[in-house]
Amino acid sequence: MYGLISQALEDYVRRGFGERAWNEVRGRAGFGEEDLFVSMESYPDELTFRLVQAATEVLHQSAAQVLEAFGEHWVLYTAQEGYGEMLSMFGTSLQEFLVNLDNLHSHVALTFPDLRPPSFEVERIPGAAQSLLLHYRSERTGLAPMVVGLLRGLGKRFSQEIRVQRLERGAADDHDVFRIDIIETTGAPRG
């Protein structure tokens, strides 16, 4: 994974739990004060997973809780770090954005050549205009809770109150399926 993800995790811990918590997470994960994450540099996935595991210990939360909260934070963080305009190019509503997620990742791969993104497929639910199914496929296992957080963060970005439910693994047990219900649109999308 790229250093940008580790930087975002650092930001999540610092903002939500303070500098002391981040220093403890970093130390438990085996990183010193001199270790910095370069956003455009690719790192082994194992390093990111070590940070998540350390965060579970320090924050006294399950991995699912940390990943879900981090997923929501990721959406807001990337927009603040200069990717907001690019995110806006791929949709003006949650549904439109989700349909274009694979296109977004193809665009991002031009800047991050070692990117190994997940794949998303949107399935409309007949008779339910404000609901959809999202099929999520990734070579990385265990990140479904992060997807729940990402979806909640996107709901906030598009000023839409949503309900997200992880339904099942796909028929071949090769992917996760999420149901997203748009409850209410509360305003204009955030920039």
Domain at 66-185, CATH class: alpha beta
pLDDT at 189: 58
pLDDT at 1: 82
Domains in the chain: boundaries: 3-61, 66-185
pLDDT at 154: 93
> Per residue in 106-154, pLDDT tens?
888 888 888 888 999 999 998 888 899 999 999 898 899 999 999 999 9
pLDDT at 43: 87
Residue owning tokens 């090769």: 174
pLDDT at 18: 97
pLDDT at 129: 82
- Please state the pTM of the whole predicted model: 0.88
Give average pLDDT by consecutive 10-residue segment, the chain, 191 residues: 90 96 96 81 90 97 97 90 79 90 86 86 89 93 93 93 84 82 74 56
List the end-to-end C-alpha distance of the chain, in Å, as a whole number.
26
- What is the largest distance, in Å, between two alpha-carbon atoms of the chain? 55
